[in-house]
Amino acid sequence: MPAARISSLKGERTMENMTVSEAAHARSVYQTKKQSGIVHRLRRDLYKNRIIYFMALPVIAYYIIFQYIPMYGASIAFKDFSPMKGIWGSTWVGMQHFTEFFNDVYFGRILTNTLLISIYNIIFGFPAPIILALLLNEVRKNDVFKRFVQSVTYLPHFISVLVLCGLIVDFTARNGIINDLLAFMGLERITMLLEPGLFRTIYVSSNIWQEVGWGSIIYLAALAGIDQDLYEAATIDGAGRFKQMLHVTLPGIMPTIIILFILRMGSMMNVGFDKIFLLYNPVTYETSDVISTYVYRKGILEANYSFSAAVGLFNSVINFVLLVATNKISKKVNETSLW
């Protein structure tokens, strides 16, 4: 059953999952194969699925109006933007901003830091909400406790970055809690935010702290959609908790996990500005200075709209390439992908 189910997700028609009427239909199509060109297939499809296309209209309209029409604005990355001239009227400078960006003394470092922080975030931060959701799922009988934990763990998501960073600074301070713990264990006190080697750890850990609860919500919803009969069948087959988790739960939420992973790879370059800005320090620049913070400091010296647009475009291109690549790999390895 699983194979057919998965293949049906992708819209593939195989003998196993066609119904009788559809098989008959397929045969008749094959027989009237004279008009098999793309345009004719399209026309037929538009007719056959006319209700679907009709339902799609508001959605398509939205994207065209609010996303594609303004897209010409992306061109300011290639122009010398002057507010008065507007986007159309500004002078074309081609790759000038990009060249300036790539030739910057610190380009290599900020790119590396951005990527490393992002990768660490993915390695540690991506599985965390999944694990949390699975653990919550394993809490049997104690529903109140489960709901309590669920309701509490997502709270930090709502606390503003400012407050959260204030707390982090407090905790990691020389006379803060973490150092108290270190001292208790006989280790030396260190001001953690002044240690380049610790920056990524602090950043990623605090990210997990803030987002693990909120991130688990999607997985909990996905878990809610797993057919309970499968668990019954597994129990009858003699599978214990762990086997059930491996063979029922995980596969059940795997499409969600994969899709979210693909999307996550598509945000590789998006290392948020606010948090780094509040936690970093010239002493830790070598590991903490990322693209967004460097460009910000540059922007203070010269308010250059076009330059930041160019950097943004650079980030987007890399993100998009990563997404497409991950999507392709995912398609080959299993059947779940965006398209």
Partner 1 sequence: MNLKRSKAEAIFGFFNICFLLFLALITLYPFLYVTMASLSNPSSLASHSGLLLWPLGFNVDGYISVFKNPNIITGYTNTLIYVVVGTSINVIITSLGAYVLSRKGVMLRDSIMMMIVFTMFFSGGLIPNYLLVKSLGMFDTMWALILPGAISTYNLIIMRTSFAAIPDSLEESARIDGANDLTILFRIVLSLSQAVIAVMILFYAVAHWNSWFSAMIYLRDRGAYPLQLFLREILINSSTDSMITGSGGSDKEAVSEIIKYCTIVIATLPIIAVYPFLQKYFTKGVLVGAVKG
Partner 2 sequence: MKGKLGMVSALSLSVVLLASVLTGCTSNATKQTSTSEKNEASLSSIPLPIVNKPITLKMFVPMDAKVAATMKNYNEIAVFKELEKRTGIHIEFIHPASMDGAAIKEQFNLMVASGDLPDLIYYNWINDYNGGPNKAIKDGVILPLNDLVDKYSPNLKAFMNSDPKANKQLRTDDGTIYVYPEAQSPNQYAKVNPNPNPAFQTFGWQIRQDWLEKLNLKSPETIDDWYEVLKAFKTKNPSGSGKNDEIPLAPKGAGDLQNWVRAWGINYGFYHDGDKVKYGPYTPEYKDALTTLAKWYKEGLIDPDFGITDAKQFDTKVMGNRAGSWTGSTSGTFGRFVQLMKAKDPSVKLSGTVPPYVKGTKSYNFNVDEIKVASGGGVAISAKSKYAKEAAMWLDYGYSPEGSLLNTFGIEGESYKMVNGSPQLLPEITNNPKGLSIDEALSKYSRGSGGLAFVMTPEIWQQRMALPEQQQIIGLWKAGSYDRTMPPGVTPTIEESTKMASIISAVNTYRDEIFSKMIMGQVPISEFDNYMSKLKGMGIEDAIKIQQAAYDRYMAR
Interface positions, 97-116, toward partner 2 (CB under 8 A): 100, 104-106
Could you count the other beta carbons within 10 Å of the beta carbon of residue 26? 12
- Residue 31 to residue 38: CA distance in whole angstroms: 17
- Residue 87 to residue 305: CA distance in whole angstroms: 11
- Residue 270 to residue 155: CA distance in whole angstroms: 23
What length does the chain have? 339
DSSP 149-193: HHHHHTGGGGS-HHHHHHHHHHHHSTTSHHHHHHHHTTPPP--GG
- Return the residue of 79, 200, 275, 298 that touches partner 2, per CB under 8 A: 298
Using CB under 8 A as the binding rule, whether residue 140 contacts partner 1 is answered as: yes
The H-or-E segment that residue 317 falls in is helix 305-333
- Shorter beta-carbon distance to partner 2: residue 52 or 89: 89
Using CB under 8 A as the binding rule, whether residue 281 contacts partner 1 is answered as: no
193-212: contacts with partner 2 (CB under 8 A):
193-194
What is the x/- site pattern for partner 2, positions 59-88, by CB under 8 A?
A: ----------------------xxxxxxx-
Using CB under 8 A as the binding rule, whether residue 265 contacts partner 1 is answered as: no
How far apart are CB 295 and partner 1 at their closest, in Å? 15
**Would you state the structure tokens that stand for residue 123, as one six-digit string?**
């390695």
Q: Phi and psi of 226, rounded to 5°? A: -80, 135
- Shorter beta-carbon distance to partner 2: residue 138 or 170: 170
- Return the residue of 143, 188, 229, 302 that touches partner 2, per CB under 8 A: 302
- Shorter beta-carbon distance to partner 2: residue 109 or 157: 109
DSSP-based three-state secondary structure for 270: coil
How far apart are CB 155 and partner 2 at their closest, in Å? 22
- Residue 339 Cα distances to 63, 155, 262, 281, 282, angstroms: 18, 34, 11, 42, 44
3-32: contacts with partner 1 (CB under 8 A):
5, 8-11, 13, 17, 19, 21
3-62: contacts with partner 2 (CB under 8 A):
none
83-122: contacts with partner 1 (CB under 8 A):
87
> Among 17-25, 179-187, 264-272, 283-291, which window interacts with partner 2 (CB under 8 A)?
283-291
Task: Please name the residue that has the structure tokens 């965390």.
Answer: 128
Using CB under 8 A as the binding rule, whether residue 268 contacts partner 1 is answered as: no
For residue 80, list its beta bridge partners: 91
**Would you state the structure tokens that stand for residue 202, as one six-digit string?**
């602090």
How far apart are CB 197 and partner 1 at their closest, in Å? 23
Instruction: List Cβ neighbours of 243 (8 Å cut-off, separation of 6 or more).
Output: 234
> In the complex, which residues of this chain contact partner 2 (CB under 8 A)?
81-87, 100, 104-106, 166, 169, 173-174, 191, 193-194, 281-283, 285-286, 289, 294, 297-298, 301-305
